[in-house]
Amino acid sequence: MTNVETIVRMLEQAGVRWVFGIPSGPVLPLIEALGRSPVEFVLTASETSAGFMATTVGQLTGVPGTCAATVGPGATNLTTGVGCAWLDCAPVLAITCNVSSPWLQRRIQMRIDHNALFRPLTKATSALRADDVGERVAEALALATAEPPGPVHLDLPEDVGVAPSAGETPARPAGSESASAPVSVTATPTPASTAPSAPDDNEARAALAAALSRSRRPLVMTGLTFTRSDATDSLLRFLDAHQLPFVSTLHAKGCLPESHPNWGGVIGRARRTDVQRLLDRADLIVAVGYDPIEINYEEWVGETPVFHLSTMPAETDPRVRFVFNRGGDLDSALRCLEDIPPAANDWTAGELADHRMRLERELRPDGGGFAAHDVLDALRAALPKDGILAYDVGAHTHQIATQWHTDLPKTLLATNGWSSMGFGMPAAYAAKMVHPERAVVGVVGDGCFQMTAGELALARRRNLAVPIIVLNDGWLGLMKVKQERREFPLSGVSLGGRVDSPPHYFGVPCRGAENLEELKAAIQWGLDLDGPSVIEAFIDVEPYSVTVFD
């Protein structure tokens, strides 16, 4: 058995189903080994998309999404997708296939230092050698899924890949899912590596009970880490018993049902001032599974004391008043919170209902023409409750995060910690591969579509029945609004004049929609197809000016 065969066998044993990437000479031995296994090599249009697809698979399954790239420019392209896994906390295994070992220290065509490149973007980066491949792969798979999950990079020289394996395929280290395994080249430490000793559940319970006894308007906030919790029902029972309002970050949407009468919105997104008005009424923030990578505490808590309960402590800032800030077993702690006796508070059902009514109204400004909020309402009505919406970065990100309601976790896919354009289409296609039985739709801006239109060829090859809705307003809408707010002249944000929709892109059929009725018909058309499609919604950019930052 060669080392690439060892790698493939270990990926198979770990539950990996796909390796996303682009072929090149050094990658061919790995692809050839994959061809003799159930693990499939999936050709993408760019290595960046390969990283985004691996990130999405890791987020949806908990199994490390895997991507591969060749030396030099292939590796640099891959880093954008891998950075998404790093800051959005997804388990990913990133493999770069390098030149042969004798050339690793020479200045030759395409070669750069891959370990130096990936060090700031991964939990660890390891340079594989002929006698340690199995051990390093086992460590990498364990580390990728250890809390907090994230990407691990392996650099594979071509001669190492085709060399005979040093021994038996090693098993995944026992207990490694909760402890970092050593690797040959260590990256920037994760926050967990410097965390203080975890409190026991009784300590967290007693601290929260004391904080609640001093509070008249406690409010619960959930975030990225909460998306990995198996005790979401415990928190919901706690909320119901205490009758507390709750809000979330972008990533935590759906982990608690947004149809709940006490749901108050999403922080830092469209109509943020309306959500902030609710936050400002609170006299205690109970932050559960909150990761400040999405939005720093000091950007929104003001003087309100914060009870931070998560797997990691939050980084401190003198402007934030923490009454509790420890990391530990989040699920166990949440189950203990159910025992806290409920106390009366000053929140009323009427004020929460008024808040939601105002929020919904302000998200849909009067005047103007066919707008993004019209598209989203039509799509929400057409998509099943368990349907998955993947969306990209831009002005529409803010609108979707606040306007789109879901009661199910992992049905709304976006990047927030990394916030890179180009995520939406690869994520939608990866989601359909993970869940072929469910309806999946992608929503992207016209700028994002230009970045990743080539991935339509992937969707056509695999016959992925995913409609991609392009919000075509002719602008980089978010940047346009930002320039207007700062009273800068509009520059570098126009995408050109209107061009009618072509009949197809890369053989994928396309339909245009200029109004709500045309859009509804197009959405149904796309959902009824047994393959990919593109729907161009020609919308008005101006409503973003009063929803995105107000």
Is residue 68 within 8 A of residue 21, CB to CB? The reply is yes
What's the mean pLDDT in 129-135? 93
Residue where the block lists tokens 């994959």: 34
Burial of 103 (0-12, 13-18, 19+ CB in 10 A): middle
Residue 174 has pLDDT above 60, yes or no: no
- Name the segment(s) of the chain with CATH classification 3.40.50.970: 3-193, 364-547
In this prediction, residue 236 carries a pLDDT of: 98
Residue 202 — pLDDT band, cuts 50, 70, 90? confident
Cα 287 from Cα 330, distance rounded (Å): 12
What's the mean pLDDT in 179-194? 41
Residue 178 — pLDDT band, cuts 50, 70, 90? very low
In this prediction, residue 200 carries a pLDDT of: 73
Is residue 178 within 8 A of residue 118, CB to CB? The reply is no
Cα 431 from Cα 56, distance rounded (Å): 7
Beta pairing, strands 322-327 & 40-43: unpaired
CATH superfamily of 3-193: Thiamin diphosphate (ThDP)-binding fold, Pyr/PP domains (3.40.50.970)
Instruction: Give the tens place of pLDDT for each residue, 229-283.
Output: 999 999 999 999 999 999 999 999 999 999 999 999 999 999 999 999 999 999 9
Instruction: Give the tens place of pLDDT for each residue, 270-297.
Output: 999 999 999 999 999 999 999 999 999 9
Which whole-number Å values give the CA distances from 501 to 165, 331, 357, 372, 493, in the listed order? 53, 49, 37, 18, 21
Which whole-number Å values give the CA distances from 28 to 31, 160, 314, 374, 455, in the listed order? 5, 13, 43, 47, 21
- Name the segment(s) of the chain with CATH classification 3.40.50.1220: 201-356
In this prediction, residue 198 carries a pLDDT of: 56
Residue 179 has pLDDT above 90, yes or no: no
Which helix (H) or strand (E) segment holds residue 275: the answer is: helix 272-281
DSSP helix, strand, coil percent of the chain (3-state; round to 5): 40, 20, 40
Residue 542 — pLDDT band, cuts 50, 70, 90? confident
Nearest to 85 by CA among 420, 389, 390: 420
Mutual orientation of helices 47-61 and 73-87 as an angle, nearest 10°?
30
What's the mean pLDDT in 12-40? 96
**CA dihedral of residues 187, 193, 194, 199 (deg, nearest 10):** 160
In this prediction, residue 531 carries a pLDDT of: 97
List phi, psi (to 5°) of 61.
Answer: -110, -25
Residue 168 — pLDDT band, cuts 50, 70, 90? low
In this prediction, residue 492 carries a pLDDT of: 75
Instruction: Give the tens place of pLDDT for each residue, 454-474.
Output: 999 999 999 999 999 999 876
Is residue 416 within 8 A of residue 224, CB to CB? The reply is yes
Burial of 107 (0-12, 13-18, 19+ CB in 10 A): exposed
In this prediction, residue 213 carries a pLDDT of: 96
Whole-model pTM? 0.91
Cα 161 from Cα 168, distance rounded (Å): 16
Cα 27 from Cα 33, distance rounded (Å): 10
* Structure tokens given for 327: 């990391």
If one looks up domain 201-356 in CATH, what number appears?
A: 3.40.50.1220
Residue 539 — pLDDT band, cuts 50, 70, 90? confident
CATH number of this structure's domain 364-547, picked from the four choices 3.40.50.720, 3.40.50.970, 1.20.1300.10, 1.10.150.310: 3.40.50.970
Q: In 292-438, which ranges are continuous DSSP H helix?
A: 330-337, 349-362, 372-382, 395-403, 424-434
pLDDT, averaged across the chain:
90
Residue where the block lists tokens 């979707």: 400
Residue 194 has pLDDT above 60, yes or no: no
Instruction: Give the tens place of pLDDT for each residue, 330-361.
Output: 999 999 999 999 989 999 999 999 999 999 99
